[in-house]
């Protein structure tokens, strides 16, 4: 389609000069005929017919080009969005936690909306330049000096435009973090997810003020540049006009002196008028094309970002049955921009079939440990072995299939009930039996029975006919995801925090049954849950402080015993 559009444009670019030239021939003919009434008019009517056909063709070509442009624009936009999503999916979690990365992502994303027309603009630019070349060739045939005069008239304008393009790009680029904040504030101010809290705390005034502050600053900076640009632009345009009119006068004088025919005068004057408006168009477009081109480098910058988690050159398949378990050897992890270690000096073994509970205060490093096990991050120091081999040697997809994690901040997909569960193993999206079985295991099946649409019920309030669930109900749905795959290690990060006491008890009874023979890690702040584990690992400030069974740790009388007593006291 791009090639067709290009060819059409080339043909279209020859049209103005052809029309003008036929016009010239017509005028010259009419003048001859007006002096000589006996002459044949057949040739004249042929020319008029030709001009008519050319005019219709010009119009048709323009429409075809516009159509192609809009279709190409849509395709381009869809294609780039897909590419951005696919590339983002390849990158690591910690890259998403980095502000510089977000700026790049944001700038790349802008390209899909703002720059879709770039391609058609470049093609229009080429088309107009070719038209100009045709028109200029006509002028050149008349007198080469005219072209040189015109060139001198337009060069300052081009230089001026590119200077301001650079400045405007630098300004916009510098504003990227604030623009993201602006978008975020706009989202806070008007979104279904934030409305409840914004109302309760009456935050709208605060948010609107922040928006006004940020947007006023942008406005001020942009205004200054726009005014400068416009003043200089006017000055350069005036210079240009002086050049055109000097050349124009030159031709008129030629006509008065009888050096050019009236037809030629009409042709040259027409060429001039067209050249002038073409140049204007080219200059304006030059601004957006060159801006587009500069912004395009951001687009490619984003695709330059490579994931840091290296895939093994010869990845090993995940063991069919884990033999020795996971061994942590002095594992430490520090987040990219953090001062503190989130995990440090971890030495322990998770045996096959073992149920291990992680306990520790907020920020002790429990979730981080789980992220290391599922290779969302690699350890900063030390290593994790699985059956004696470094986790990094295993095939990543295989590993993720075998290590199932339900995080505490799981997603509430605004999709159907069944799709929400199938998210746990999207290859089984159409396996209704498995979805139902998983729902049963997490107690979500009772919920499905109550929903008007059953398993096809749209969840969440964002789309039509959606039903909102309670916190605990969402949690049961998310929990069902864990049962969608036959993972050998199942990790639940505070999976029952929103469940009522009865549901929690039942969920764990089932969990214990369903994961018999498999390894599992539970993170919980509820000791009623924790004590069901074979062993408990107590973390403090990222380090392992105690490990053992509930009874052993109580006898030891350390941190675990203290925390347990504290909670038990609350129930007395
Ligand atoms: N994405 C991140 N970037 C930087 N630091 C982080 C990030 N996530 C967590 N941290 C820091 O790492 C430390 C451990 O966090 P982690 O989430 O592992 O704690 P946790 O034990 O799971 O806490 P909680 O019980 O509150 O869920 C915290 O001090 C936290 O500030």
Q: Which domains does the chain have, with CATH numbers?
A: 2-304 (1.20.1560.10), 326-411+487-571 (3.40.50.300)
Burial class (CB in 10 A: 0-12, 13-18, 19+), 40: exposed
Give me ligand 1 centre to Cα 343, in Å.
9
Does ligand 1 come within 6 angstroms of the Cβ of 371?
no
- Of 335, 409, 494, the one to substitute when testing ligand 1's pocket (max ligand atoms within 8 A of C-beta) is 335
Query: Is 363's C-beta closer than 6 angstroms to any atom of ligand 1?
Result: yes
Q: Which atom of ligand 1 is nearest to the CA of 358?
A: 21
* Single pTM value for the model: 0.75
Model pLDDT, residue 183: 85
Query: Minimal CA–CA distance to 353: which of 505, 512, 510, 479?
Result: 512
- The protein residue with its alpha carbon nearest to ligand 1, atom 18, reads 365
Residue closest via CA to ligand 1's atom 11 equals 342
pLDDT recorded at residue 168: 84
- Displacement of CA 543 from its chain's centroid (Å): 37
User: Which of 153, 149, 285, 159 minimizes the C-alpha distance to 232?
Assistant: 159
Q: Is 485 in the pocket of ligand 1 (CB under 6 A)?
A: no
So what's the pLDDT on residue 129?
A: 87
For a substitution probing ligand 1, which of 342, 374, 376, 540 has the most ligand atoms within 8 Å of its CB? 342
Would you give the DSSP letter of residue 191? -
Ligand 1 atom 7, closest CA: 335
List the beta bridge partners of residue 556: none
What are the CA-CA distances from residue 282 to residues 18, 161, 278 (Å)? 20, 11, 6
Phi and psi, residue 85, nearest 5°? -65, -40
**Binned average pLDDT, 10 residues per bin, the chain of 572 residues:** 83 88 88 81 89 93 88 82 84 79 76 64 84 83 75 78 83 82 86 82 89 90 91 85 81 84 84 80 77 74 82 89 94 90 95 93 93 92 95 92 87 93 92 94 90 93 87 89 89 80 76 80 86 92 94 92 83 62
Report d(CA 152, CA 278) in Å as an integer.
Answer: 16
Closest among 503, 483, 501 to 492, alpha carbons compared? 483
Residue 549, pLDDT score: 93
Distance 368 CA to ligand 1 centre (A): 6
CB distance 365 to ligand 1 below 6 Å: yes
pLDDT of residue 364: 93
* 368 touches ligand 1 (CB under 6 Å): yes
């Amino acid at each position: 389609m791009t090639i067709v559009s290009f060819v059409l444009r080339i043909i279209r670019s020859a049209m103005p000069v052809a029309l003008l030239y036929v016009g010239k021939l017509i005028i010259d003919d009419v003048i001859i005929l007006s002096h000589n009434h006996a002459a044949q008019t057949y040739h004249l009517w042929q020319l008029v017919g030709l001009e008519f056909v050319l005019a219709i063709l010009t119009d048709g070509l323009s429409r075809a080009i516009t159509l192609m442009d809009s279709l190409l624009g849509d395709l381009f936009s869809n294609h780039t969005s897909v590419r951005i999503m696919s590339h983002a999916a390849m990158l690591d979690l910690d890259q998403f936690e980095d502000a510089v990365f977000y700026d790049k992502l944001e700038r790349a994303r802008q390209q899909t909306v703002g720059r879709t027309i770039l391609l058609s603009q470049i093609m229009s630019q080429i088309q107009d330049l070719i038209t100009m070349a045709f028109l200029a060739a006509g002028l050149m045939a008349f007198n080469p000096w005219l072209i040189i005069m015109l060139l001198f008239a337009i060069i300052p304008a081009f230089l001026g435009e590119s200077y301001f393009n650079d400045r405007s790009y630098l300004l916009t680029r510098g504003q990227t973090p604030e623009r993201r904040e602006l978008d975020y504030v706009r989202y806070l101010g008007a979104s279904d997810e934030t409305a409840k809290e914004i109302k309760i705390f009456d935050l709208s005034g605060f948010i609107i003020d922040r928006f006004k502050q940020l947007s006023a600053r942008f406005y001020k900076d942009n205004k200054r540049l726009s005014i400068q640009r416009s003043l200089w632009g006017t000055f350069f345009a005036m210079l240009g006009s002086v050049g055109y009119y000097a050349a124009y006068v030159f031709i008129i004088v030629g006509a008065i002196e009888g050096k050019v025919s009236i037809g030629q005068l009409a042709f040259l004057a027409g060429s001039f008028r067209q050249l002038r408006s073409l140049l204007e168009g080219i200059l304006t477009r030059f601004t957006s094309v060159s801006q587009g081109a500069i912004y395009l480098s951001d687009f490619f910058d984003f695709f330059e970002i490579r994931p840091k988690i290296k895939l093994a050159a010869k990845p090993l398949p995940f063991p069919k049955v884990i033999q020795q378990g996971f061994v942590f050897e002095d594992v430490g992890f520090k987040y990219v921009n953090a001062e503190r270690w989130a995990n440090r000096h971890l030495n322990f073994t998770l045996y096959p079939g073992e149920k291990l509970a992680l306990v520790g205060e907020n920020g002790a490093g429990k979730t981080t440990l789980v992220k290391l096990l599922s290779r969302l991050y690699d350890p900063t120091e030390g290593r994790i072995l699985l059956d004696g081999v470094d986790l990094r040697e295993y095939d990543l997809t295989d590993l993720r299939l075998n290590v199932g994690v339900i995080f505490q901040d799981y997603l509430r997909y605004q999709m159907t009930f069944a799709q929400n569960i199938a998210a746990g193993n999207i290859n089984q999206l159409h396996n209704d039996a498995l979805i139902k079985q998983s729902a049963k295991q997490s107690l979500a099946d009772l919920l499905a029975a109550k929903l008007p649409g059953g398993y096809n019920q749209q969840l969440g309030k964002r789309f039509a006919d959606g039903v909102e669930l309670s916190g605990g109900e969402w949690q049961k749905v998310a929990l069902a995801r864990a049962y969608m795959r036959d993972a050998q290690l199942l990790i639940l990060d505070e999976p029952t925090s929103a469940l009522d006491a009865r549901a929690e008890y039942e969920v764990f009874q089932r969990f214990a049954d369903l994961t018999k023979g498999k390894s599992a890690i539970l993170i919980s702040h509820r000791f009623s849950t924790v004590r069901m584990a074979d062993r408990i690992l107590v973390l403090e400030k990222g380090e392992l402080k105690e490990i053992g069974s509930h009874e052993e740790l109580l006898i030891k009388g350390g941190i675990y015993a203290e925390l347990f007593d504290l909670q038990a006291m609350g129930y007395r």
